[in-house]
Amino acid sequence: MIGTITPRRKSAAYGTALVGLDFSMGRIVAHQKWYRTNDPHCCPTGDATTVWYRHGDRLTTGITHLTS
């Protein structure tokens, strides 16, 4: 195991959902859905992506981009 991908954009009230991963050489893009302040239980409206990089046997995180 080289690491754990965890949400970088966190919601105050509810958990953040990992909705997809895109893999390429040395890099993983994590797509997340997160709850904004007024979102109901059912429907997080925030979207974010975080790029993770593989350096040998370690994962490091890049900047999280809010996409909506």
What's the angle, vertex CA 52, arms to CA 4 and CA 31, rounded to 5?
85
Give the predicted TM-score (pTM) of the model: 0.79
- With contact defined as beta carbons under 8 Å apart, do 68 and 43 qualify? no
* 32 vs 62: CA distance, rounded Å: 14
Q: Is 31 helix (H, G, I), strand (E, B) or coil?
A: strand
Q: Residues 15-49: pLDDT tens digits?
A: 888 899 999 999 999 999 988 888 888 888 999 99
Tokens of 47: 């979207």
pLDDT confidence band for 66 (50 / 70 / 90): confident
